[in-house]
Structure 1
Amino acid sequence: MQFPESWLREYCNPALSTQELADALTMAGLEVEELDPVAPPFTGIVVGEILSAEQHPNADRLRVCQVDVGEAQPLSIVCGAPNARAGIKVPCATVGAELPPGEDGKPFKIKIGKLRGVESFGMLCSARELGISDEHGGLLELAADAPLGQNVRELLQLDDTLFTLKLTPNLAHCLSVYGVAREVSAITGSPLKPLASVPVQPQTDAALAVTIAAPELCGRFSGRVVTGVTTQVQTPAWMKARLERCGQRTVSPLVDISNYVMFERGRPSHIFDLDKIHGGLQVRWGRAGETLQLLNGNSITVDEQVGVIADDQAVESLAGIMGGDATAVSDSTQNIYIEAAFWWPDAIAGRSRRFNFSTDAGHRFERGVDPAGTASDIDYITALVQQICGGQAGPLHDQQVNMPVSTNVRLRVERANRILGTKLTQDQCADALARLGLPLTQEPGVITVQPPSHRFDLRIEEDLIEEVARIVGYDNLPETPPLAPTVPSVQSESRKGRFELRHQLAGRGYLETVNFSFVPPDWERELAGNANPIKLLNPIVSQMSVMRSSLLGSLLQVLKFNVDRRADRVRVFEIGRVFRRDAQVATTDSTVAGVDQPMRVAGLAYGAVEPLSWRGKQASVDFYDVKADVESLLAPRQAVFAAAEHPAMHPGRCASVSVDGIVVGHVGELHPKWRQQWELPLAPVVFELDMEAVLPRALPQGQPLPKQLPVERDLALIVPEAVTHAQLMQAVTSVNRAGQPQVLQDAVLFDIYRPKPGQGASGLAEGEKSLAVRLTLSKGDEAMTDADIDSAVQAVAAAVAEQLNGRLRA
């Protein structure tokens, strides 16, 4: 929001300097981003009238002008501007004047010069040479009634400052000069000049029929016909200057009037060429397939979610955002229809972003524009139109079909003080709210406010507390240190920290990656098997539109990025949150109803097992390499791996990971079809585990060294082919009974034998295999006898025979 200080002070003029006024606004929540002078410094430039402009005798593009600057004799000045002609008034820099500094930072001083043999006693200036505009196609032509010899800075009010405010979305009522003036009055206590009331009496019966078919889109619609206007006139210089200082380009008188009222009063409006409207107007939602060419030249297609104003033949305007080109006013316009409406903010919000543009009108309507002022603002616009373009006004038609109803908001003084850390009295709080023009009633300890029609942001008690803080001034709030005690969070040694987990993975050769939590829908469908992912309402890019329920897609994307850059060995991991639907999750300080957000740790290994070295080419990483990494993460807890299926992994090279009988993740080789789709030369091996399963750990317990050396025995056990390693170990270790001495200290599988086809007798039947297991036996400080050893070996053989239908190999 940009505006000149002089326009603001026309409505409220506190006894503050420019900087003090800017500081007061900032401390009231209206941050002043910039203070810029309207024009750079210059001196000695006055109003001059060109009396004659004769051709230079020695130059085709120069003219010798006689310029009256209010002195006894006119000045002879050589000028090359194409519009230098007799009868116009222009800025004239007399001898000794200083023009704005150039690129070197030094002012340019005017001296008597000689151009092609003719002396020049000054300089006629363009707007660019004065630093007030980029226009440099000719001299800056001043008003015909400008007094000769008057300082141009005074005439054009160049000793002014441009305020640029950075407004938060709740300050929609400040998106106008008068809205800011209302705030300045409340902050400083200076009187506020009321808006001019300009009732317009109808001079004709001309009218246009308007139907509101969507009350949820438009709550109030006001309009008036004005006939016989003349558009081939110039916008007044004072209006042009104010619009330009608001950053608005002047277009034509009617458009400039509409924009002027928007910046002054915050009321966007639209002026139609009445003769281009077919029949009446209808305010409704768009229909699929309808098209509209906008004033900016864009052609768009609307749908049922976008509000429009249409006539009997086509859509003519995008409701609350921008008018259409078909009914735009032009130099040939004679009859107009002035429209001002109240559009519901929810019906306008986000619509312009669908078409990749934004407008000042849409910016205001989606935040809320006062519905109470449409009729009076139509009168004001009509008066300006008649003042500048003439015309006869028709009757004002005003339809109110769905006006917003304000709900009273209560402020508890005690709670306001508790939140702000102040000791304000009820009278002080009431005074702050009253200065903002908020109607209120009081009872002991409570102030009840009825929000006025222009304050869409006052809905809950905290909104009123903020208003009190703004008017009191944020710089006047006490600086109170927090009273909450700081208690360190002690991490139990029975749990790993996340940083320790990161160091552990880094120690095994993995590098950490950090990725977005939102991913393409096909990742969820293909890699996570999630047909109903959590969708984003407003994704940053269309293809990343859902929240991830697995980390694997992100790791594969990192792998693909590196492989495309000729990386032949990649090991990466990520620790992050995933998002899954779960109806049992309730809303708390850290959760959202219906969404489970657990932490996961996932890793990916690709390429050689080790970096290239003098020992030669290394074998590629396989399932067992990554399985070892997973076991190290879960150690000393024993992980059980079982054949399983996962949508991202190879159906025959995938295992579930279980701890204490609970599946906590998966490990396996990437599925061949995804490897082909991602164009990977080798198959990566991936794993993904629940974080809560990785962090717990048992504390080590010190044990004395046994006085007797342990005994080792190797057994060859014949078992059915279907027996897994886990089943074998479970059967072998079952010989250690609870409450009895633990003789079996360890068991390790060190060989698997299967006879080759056509091989001679091996003692194995078809469908059998031989597993060699090394047993470690010990009784601590007691020496083991042959009987003890034989008893333990026989117990293991018996357990295998009973549980797995196995036997000792002869």
Structure 2
Amino acid sequence: MQFPESWLRSFCNPALNTQELAELLTMSGLEVEELRPVAPPFHGIVVAEILSAEQHPNADKLRVCTVNAGGAEPLQIVCGAPNARAGIRVPLATIGAELPPGEDGKPFQIGKGKLRGVESFGMLCSARELKLSEDHGGLLELAADAPIGQNIREHLKLDDTLFTLKLTPNLAHCLSVYGVAREVSALTGSPLLKPEFTPVAVKHDAKLPVRIEAADLCGRFSGRIVRGVNTKAQTPAWMVERLARCGQRSVSPLVDISNYVMFEFGRPSHIFDLDKIHDGLTVRWAKQGEALKLLNGNTIELDETVGVIADSKQVESLAGIMGGDATAVSDDTRNVYVEAAFWWPKAVAGRSRKFNFSTDAGHRFERGVDPAQTVEHIERITQLIVDICGGEAGPMDDQTTQLPARKPVTLRVARAAKIIGMPLTQAQCATVFQRLGLDYVEGEGTLTVTPPSWRFDIQIEEDLVEEVIRVLGYPNLPDTPPLAPVVGKVRSESRASVHALRHALAGRDYFETINFSFVEARWEQELAGNANPIQLLNPIAAPLAVMRTSLIGSLVQVLRYNLTRKAPRVRVFEIGRVFLRDASIVESDSSIAGVRQPMRVAALAWGAADQSQWSQRDRLVDFFDVKGDLESLFAPRQLQFVAAEHPALHPGRSARVLLDGQEIGVVGELHPKWRQGYELPSAPVLFELDLDAVLSLTLPKGQGVQRQQSVLRDIAVIVGEQVTHDALISTIQGAQDGLVRSAKLFDVFKPGQANAEMQAGERSMAVRLELLDEETTLTDERIEQTVARVLAALGEKLGARLRG
């Protein structure tokens, strides 16, 4: 925010120089980013009036001017400016004057000169020559009543400084000159000139019908009709000057007045051409498919997330952001409607960025604008309109739906002293709140503050603690070294760290990648099967418009990025958050209502299964390579893999990953359709798992060295091709009487053609059983009984028979 120091001092003028004032603001949290003089140094330039301007006898583009500079006699000045004419008052650099330094950094001194044979006793100046602006179209024309002979720096108030503040989002109450002055008054104790809003005389009873349909968009809407205004009037020079020093160019009287009050009191407003409004105004949320041509010339498409002001025929304004072109004031405007409203910050936040522009109004409303003074500020705007453009004001129309509830916040003095780090009394805190204009109630060691209407940032106790130390002054903090006990925190052994997981994946030859949480809608539709992803209101790029529910799309994009750079082998992983719709999630400091945000880990392998080497041929990575990576990550925990379908994965080469019977993710080869769709030379293999499940650990349990010798028995059974490894092993484990310590499949045999032993659709699966009794030595009889029990279970449940 930029403003001139003189405007600030018109509200509060502390006994501080410019540098001290800037230091005070910065140390109170209002960082002064830049101090810049309004004009560079120069002297000897005065207000002069051109008495006559005659054509130069020897040059077509020069004029010989007779100039009154307040001296005993007029001066002769040769001038080439196209607007040099009798009767205007302009800056005159007299002999001996110094103009602002040029590109070489040296000031330019004016002396007596001769141009084409005619003597010139000075130089008439343009704004560019005085380094006041880049306008070089002619002489800088001053007001008709400018005192002749007065120093131009004094006349234009050029001995002023521009303050540029870098405000944090919680300081919305300082987005105006008066707001900053209010802070300066609280910080210094200097008196604050509080404005008086005298009601303008009402000359007629006309009102514009206004209906508020969306209370969650607009909490208060005030307005009035002003008839008979002269929009061709000229904006006063003092207003143009202040606007320019706030970085705002003059447009027209009505626009300038609206902008002026916004910079003065932080109140964005809008002035409609009354005669262009059809019937009345309705404040509502936009409808899908509606369009609006804005004042900046852009035509935007609207939807239900954007607030608007509409009449009976069309949308006329983007609520809290920018007015529409259809009802803009012009030189032909005679009757206007002045509007000032309170728009809920959440209803305005992010909407400007959605349409790729930003406005001063939106910047203020999305941070919070005082809802209590809409009427007073309309009175101020109306008075300026009547004073500058004339006209007759109508009655005020003020409608309120709901305003922010100011919840009291309690400050514990002892707690504040502990946080700040210096002794603090209740009286000191009370004095701070008085100076800030905060209403409070004192208790025993506490002060309960009810935030005023202009303070949207006071919500918790720490906000009040900050106010106390800001006003007391950070320089008053004692220089004490921090004291804190060094206590080591022991991580539970039942949970691994994310850092350890990164190391483990890196050890399996994967590289970590970090991607945006917002992705293309296509990725969600095709790779996650999500037709209704969470939409972004203000995407940083048009394609990245939705929040991801899977990490697979991000990894596929990383693969494509690497392939365009001729990478021969890609193995990457990501640990990141996904965003799922879940109505059970409530709003909190760490959550958003209706959105669950679990952490996932996903990896992708493409290209050769291993680095090229002389001892083996290159082969492409396959499902079993990545399955092996997963099993090594979870060892000694045992995973189960169950064939399943997933929108992104090959239907015959993908599986659900189960841990202790619970599904924790998927693994598989990319679907052929998406391999072609994303233009990949071969299909990568991917997995995506729930991070909490990956990080959970099973603590080891100590066992004594076995005292008995185990016995190995191999069995080969003939089963149908549909019988899986998991079904075979689980049947064996469920059938034994506690003697089978382990069962491992070591051979699968399928003959080339049917024979007497195996029919078509059958295969042989050989399993090695390890039998052990911890207490006694196994006998042949017990061994045979256990093997027979296993074979019987296999035959009963899987239709297996012993191979001969």
Report the Cα distance in structure 2 between the residues aligned to 1:248 and 1:42, rounded to whole angstroms.
25
Q: Residues 268-305 of structure 1, C-alpha deviation per residue, up to 9 Å, x if partnerless?
A: 3444445x346764343366466554433334566676
Contact in 2 for aligned 1:413/1:429 (Cα 8 Å): no
Report the Cα distance in structure 2 between the residues aligned to 1:494 and 1:212, rounded to whole angstroms.
61
Report the Cα distance in structure 2 between the residues aligned to 1:716 and 1:179, rounded to whole angstroms.
87
| Structure 2 residue matching 1:128: 3-state secondary structure | coil
Q: Which residue of 1 aligns with 2:178?
A: 178
| Structure 2 residue matching 1:65: 3-state secondary structure | strand
Residue 648 (str. 1) matches residue 644 (str. 2): no
Q: Which moved more, 1:650-659 or 1:533-542?
A: 533-542
Contact in 2 for aligned 1:297/1:325 (Cα 8 Å): yes
Question: Does the C-alpha gap of structure 1 residues 565 and 594 become closer, same or farther in structure 2, counting only changes over 3 Å?
Answer: same
Q: Which residue of 1 aligns with 2:472?
A: 472
| Structure 2 residue matching 1:179: 3-state secondary structure | helix
Contact in 1 for aligned 2:729/2:743 (Cα 8 Å): no
Aligned residue type for 1:17: N
Q: Which moved more, 1:657-666 or 1:168-177?
A: 657-666
Contact in 2 for aligned 1:635/1:697 (Cα 8 Å): no
Question: Does the C-alpha gap of structure 1 residues 522 and 112 become closer, same or farther in structure 2, counting only changes over 3 Å?
Answer: same
Question: Does the C-alpha gap of structure 1 residues 435 and 149 become closer, same or farther in structure 2, counting only changes over 3 Å?
Answer: same
Contact in 1 for aligned 2:225/2:335 (Cα 8 Å): no
Residue 802 (str. 1) matches residue 792 (str. 2): yes
Q: Which residue of 2 aligns with 1:22?
A: 22
Aligned residue type for 1:147: P
Report the Cα distance in structure 2 between the residues aligned to 1:613 and 1:116, rounded to whole angstroms.
89
Question: Does the C-alpha gap of structure 1 residues 372 and 634 become closer, same or farther in structure 2, counting only changes over 3 Å?
Answer: closer
Residue 769 (str. 1) matches residue 763 (str. 2): yes
How do residues 173-252 of structure 1 correspond to structure 2 at under 5 angstroms? 173-202=173-202, 204-205=203-204, 207-214=206-213, 216=215, 217=218, 219-227=220-228, 229-252=229-252
Question: Does the C-alpha gap of structure 1 residues 102 and 762 become closer, same or farther in structure 2, counting only changes over 3 Å?
Answer: farther
Contact in 2 for aligned 1:94/1:123 (Cα 8 Å): yes
Q: Which residue of 2 aligns with 1:499?
A: 499
Q: Which residue of 2 aligns with 1:168?
A: 168
Aligned residue type for 1:803: A
Contact in 2 for aligned 1:12/1:184 (Cα 8 Å): yes
User: What is the percentage of aligned positions where both structures have the same residue?
Assistant: 61
| Structure 2 residue matching 1:83: 3-state secondary structure | coil
Of residues 745, 750, 762, the one that matches 1:754 is 750
Residue 135 (str. 1) matches residue 131 (str. 2): no
Aligned residue type for 1:171: L
Report the Cα distance in structure 2 between the residues aligned to 1:322 and 1:263, rounded to whole angstroms.
16
Contact in 2 for aligned 1:406/1:453 (Cα 8 Å): no
Normalising by structure 1, what TM-score?
Answer: 0.85
Report the Cα distance in structure 2 between the residues aligned to 1:778 and 1:613, rounded to whole angstroms.
43
Aligned residue type for 1:139: L
Report the Cα distance in structure 2 between the residues aligned to 1:670 and 1:313, rounded to whole angstroms.
52
Q: Which residue of 2 aligns with 1:91?
A: 91
Report the Cα distance in structure 2 between the residues aligned to 1:465 and 1:12, rounded to whole angstroms.
25
Q: Which moved more, 1:243-252 or 1:74-83?
A: 74-83
Cα deviation, residue 598, structure 1: 4.6
Cα deviation, residue 511, structure 1: 1.8
Report the Cα distance in structure 2 between the residues aligned to 1:218 and 1:588, rounded to whole angstroms.
24
Cα deviation, residue 246, structure 1: 0.9
Cα deviation, residue 746, structure 1: 8.4
Q: Residues 53-93 of structure 1, C-alpha deviation per residue, up to 9 Å, x if partnerless?
A: 33333332223333333334444433221112233222222
Contact in 2 for aligned 1:235/1:388 (Cα 8 Å): yes
Q: Which residue of 1 aligns with 2:364?
A: 364
Q: Which moved more, 1:93-102 or 1:399-408?
A: 399-408
Contact in 2 for aligned 1:720/1:767 (Cα 8 Å): yes
Report the Cα distance in structure 1 between the residues aligned to 2:385 and 2:583, rounded to whole angstroms.
61
Instruction: Count matched residues.
Output: 794
Report the Cα distance in structure 1 between the residues aligned to 2:524 and 2:558, rounded to whole angstroms.
16
| Structure 2 residue matching 1:652: 3-state secondary structure | strand
Report the Cα distance in structure 2 between the residues aligned to 1:35 and 1:423, rounded to whole angstroms.
35
Q: Which residue of 2 aligns with 1:572?
A: 572
Question: Does the C-alpha gap of structure 1 residues 182 and 387 become closer, same or farther in structure 2, counting only changes over 3 Å?
Answer: same
Aligned residue type for 2:392: A
Report the Cα distance in structure 1 between the residues aligned to 2:52 and 2:268, rounded to whole angstroms.
45
Aligned residue type for 2:167: L
How do residues 9-48 of structure 1 correspond to structure 2 at under 5 angstroms? 9-48=9-48
| Structure 1 residue matching 2:410: 3-state secondary structure | strand
| Structure 2 residue matching 1:556: 3-state secondary structure | helix
| Structure 2 residue matching 1:127: 3-state secondary structure | coil
Report the Cα distance in structure 2 between the residues aligned to 1:765 and 1:376, rounded to whole angstroms.
95
Residue 409 (str. 1) matches residue 399 (str. 2): no
Q: Which residue of 1 aligns with 2:3?
A: 3
| Structure 2 residue matching 1:145: 3-state secondary structure | coil
Report the Cα distance in structure 2 between the residues aligned to 1:410 and 1:693, rounded to whole angstroms.
41
Q: Residues 393-441 of structure 1, C-alpha deviation per residue, up to 9 Å, x if partnerless?
A: 3454343444747646253443444444443322222211111233444
Contact in 2 for aligned 1:206/1:225 (Cα 8 Å): no
Q: Residues 109-131 of structure 1, C-alpha deviation per residue, up to 9 Å, x if partnerless?
A: 33444444444443222111211
Aligned residue type for 2:749: Y
| Structure 2 residue matching 1:138: 3-state secondary structure | coil
How do residues 317-716 of structure 1 correspond to structure 2 at under 5 angstroms? 317-343=317-343, 345=345, 348-389=348-389, 391-402=390-401, 404=403, 407=406, 409-414=408-413, 415-458=415-458, 461-477=461-477, 485-491=485-491, 496-521=496-521, 523-524=523-524, 526-529=526-529, 540=540, 544=544, 546-580=546-580, 597-613=597-613, 618-695=618-695, 696=697
Q: Which moved more, 1:533-542 or 1:440-449?
A: 533-542
Q: Which runs of 5+ in 1 are unaligned?
A: none
Cα deviation, residue 248, structure 1: 1.0
Q: Residues 371-411 of structure 1, C-alpha deviation per residue, up to 9 Å, x if partnerless?
A: 4544444444344334434x353454343444747646253
Aligned residue type for 1:186: A
Report the Cα distance in structure 2 between the residues aligned to 1:270 and 1:487, rounded to whole angstroms.
59
Aligned residue type for 1:221: S
Cα deviation, residue 589, structure 1: 8.2
Normalising by structure 2, what TM-score?
Answer: 0.85
Report the Cα distance in structure 1 between the residues aligned to 2:214 and 2:553, rounded to whole angstroms.
47
| Structure 2 residue matching 1:59: 3-state secondary structure | coil
Contact in 2 for aligned 1:77/1:120 (Cα 8 Å): yes
Q: Residues 162-200 of structure 1, C-alpha deviation per residue, up to 9 Å, x if partnerless?
A: 111223344333222222212211111111123245454
Q: Which moved more, 1:691-700 or 1:107-116?
A: 691-700
Contact in 2 for aligned 1:413/1:425 (Cα 8 Å): no
Aligned residue type for 1:284: V
Q: Which runs of 5+ in 2 are unaligned?
A: none
Question: Does the C-alpha gap of structure 1 residues 334 and 31 become closer, same or farther in structure 2, counting only changes over 3 Å?
Answer: same
Report the Cα distance in structure 1 between the residues aligned to 2:505 and 2:399, rounded to whole angstroms.
67
Report the Cα distance in structure 2 between the residues aligned to 1:734 and 1:133, rounded to whole angstroms.
90
Aligned residue type for 1:801: L
Report the Cα distance in structure 2 between the residues aligned to 1:178 and 1:713, rounded to whole angstroms.
91
Q: Residues 337-388 of structure 1, C-alpha deviation per residue, up to 9 Å, x if partnerless?
A: 5444555555555554554433333433444444454444444434433443
Aligned residue type for 1:399: D
Report the Cα distance in structure 1 between the residues aligned to 2:769 and 2:264, rounded to whole angstroms.
92
Question: Does the C-alpha gap of structure 1 residues 663 and 191 become closer, same or farther in structure 2, counting only changes over 3 Å?
Answer: closer
| Structure 1 residue matching 2:129: 3-state secondary structure | helix
Report the Cα distance in structure 1 between the residues aligned to 2:84 and 2:724, rounded to whole angstroms.
101
Q: State which structure, 1 or 2, has the greater radius of gyration over its C-alpha atoms.
A: 1
Question: Does the C-alpha gap of structure 1 residues 417 and 255 become closer, same or farther in structure 2, counting only changes over 3 Å?
Answer: same
Report the Cα distance in structure 1 between the residues aligned to 2:588 and 2:381, rounded to whole angstroms.
52
Q: Which residue of 1 aligns with 2:123?
A: 123
Contact in 2 for aligned 1:411/1:447 (Cα 8 Å): yes
| Structure 1 residue matching 2:503: 3-state secondary structure | helix
| Structure 2 residue matching 1:130: 3-state secondary structure | coil
Aligned residue type for 1:605: A
Report the Cα distance in structure 2 between the residues aligned to 1:373 and 1:663, rounded to whole angstroms.
58
Question: Does the C-alpha gap of structure 1 residues 613 and 700 become closer, same or farther in structure 2, counting only changes over 3 Å?
Answer: farther
Cα deviation, residue 525, structure 1: 5.1
Report the Cα distance in structure 2 between the residues aligned to 1:606 and 1:240, rounded to whole angstroms.
65
Q: Residues 716-742 of structure 1, C-alpha deviation per residue, up to 9 Å, x if partnerless?
A: 65455444444555677899975x7x9
